[in-house]
Copies of this chain bind each other. A is one copy, B any other.
Amino acid sequence: MMNKEKAILLMYCKDKRGILAEVTNFIMGNNGNIINLDQHVDQDENYFFMRIEWELEGFSIPNEKIEEYFSTLIAFKYSAWYKLHFEPNKPNIAIFVSQYSHCFLDILSRYEAGEWKINIPCIISNHEKFRSITDRFGIPFFYFPVKKDNKKILEAEELALLKEKNVDLIILARYMQILSNEFCAKYPNQIINIHHSTLPAFPGAKPYESAFKRGVKFMGASAHYVTADLDEGPIIAQDVISISHRDSISDMKRKGRNIEKIVLANACWAHLNHQVLTYNNKTVVFD
């Protein structure tokens, strides 16, 4: 929206009296203009969370020193986890895709329209199916035919590619392969997957079939960070739609595609805007 340079700080720690004032004073005392502050206290578990955004023009601490100063003066004292981002910034995003195009094309559309300010240095797939459409968008396509027996080798190649391309975020756009724990560990809270059910209901394969069998009256989709435990990572976004006995499995799949792509996009948007904090395997998503 605006092009002025700004910093965004995400942090959390055990809640202690005075933490909020100390952080705001750190910024305002150094002549930073706070343009957004979101704060949350989880009173059930006694955590303090904050997202604070300020303009860097006139800020007395040089950009490359902010992290050090914040760490020394505040984070250390409160044993706080934190992450500092600068904007504007154009992150590098890799999309993993298999044989369903709806999430994949939805992301390309947002990229094409300039809705998301991102680079897409690579599309990675275990099928050749979407090479042609990827080409049309002028994005490099990489084919890794991952199978059980070559998984280790191909994942290593994928990781090398991701490293070379400086990838900040990996989006699994209905990617039908399970990433190894080692792979996941390289990109903590940087891999977003879309699962086609309202987790924790119907994890695993064929959630629409299971939902149909159970006769539920709502179905949905969940976007989550990928962790070693399949479908168990921190949920970033969910959405649901009502269904009835009139919906066949085929109807559920068709309707499901609509929420899958929107939920995945919403989760990525929140991540890209540094609105997501993760703790205890769940998320705080500031809006």
Expressed in whole angstroms, the minimum distance between the Cβ of A286 and any Cβ of chain B is 8
B40 and A246 form a contact (CB under 8 A): yes
Find residues 271-287 in chain A having any chain B CB closer than 8 Å to their own CB.
280-285, 287
Hey, which chain B residues are within 8 Å of A153, CB to CB? none
- Choose one: B105, B200, B237, B262; the contact of A112 (CB below 8 Å): B105
Q: Which residue of B has the minimal Cβ distance to A137?
A: B136
- Which one, B35, B133, B250, contacts A41 given CB within 8 A? B35
Majority SS of interface residues in chain A? Answer: mixed
Q: Is the CB of B246 within 8 A of A217?
A: no
- Establish whether residues B201 and A214, one from each chain, have CB atoms under 8 Å apart when the complex forms: no
User: B214 to A250, Cβ gap below 8 A?
Assistant: no
Is A79 interfacial (CB-CB < 8 Å)?
A: no
* Interface members, chain A 98-152 (any B CB < 8 Å): 101-102, 105-106, 109, 112-113, 115, 133, 136-137
Is there contact, CB below 8 Å, between A33 and B20?
A: no
On whether the beta carbons of A234 and B215 are closer than 8 Å, the reply is yes
The copy count of this chain in the complex is 4
- The interface centre, meaning the residue of A36, A49, A234, A240 with most chain B CB atoms within 10 A of its CB, is A240
A284 with B245, Cβ < 8 A, contacts A113-B105, A258-B262 known: yes
Note all chain B residues with C-beta closer than 8 A to A245: 40, 42, 49, 282-285
From A21-29, A66-74, A183-191, give the one contacting chain B: A21-29
Kindly identify, within residues 201 to 223 of chain A, every residue whose CB is under 8 Å from any CB belonging to chain B. 201-202, 212-218, 220, 222
Q: CB-defined interface of A41-84 with B at 8 Å, one 1/0 digit per residue? A: 11110000100000000000000000000000000000000000
Q: Does A181 contact B (CB under 8 A)?
A: no
Do B44 and A248 touch across chains, with their CB atoms under 8 A apart?
A: yes
Taking a contact as CB atoms under 8 Å apart, the answer to whether B248 and A43 are in contact is yes
Given the known interface contacts A41-B35, A240-B240, A245-B284, the answer about A198 and B212 at a Cβ–Cβ threshold of 8 Å is: no
The residue on B at minimum CB distance from A284 is B245
- A201 contacts across to B, CB distance below 8 A: 198-201
Interface residues of A (CB under 8 A from B): 1, 17-18, 20-21, 24-25, 28, 33-37, 39-44, 49, 101-102, 105-106, 109, 112-113, 115, 133, 136-137, 198-202, 212-218, 220, 222, 234-235, 237-240, 242, 244-246, 248-250, 254, 257-258, 262, 265-266, 269, 280-285, 287
13 A-B residue pairs with Cβ-Cβ distance under 8 Å, sorted by A, are: A1-B250, A21-B21, A25-B25, A40-B246, A42-B245, A105-B112, A109-B109, A136-B136, A198-B201, A200-B202, A200-B216, A217-B222, A258-B265
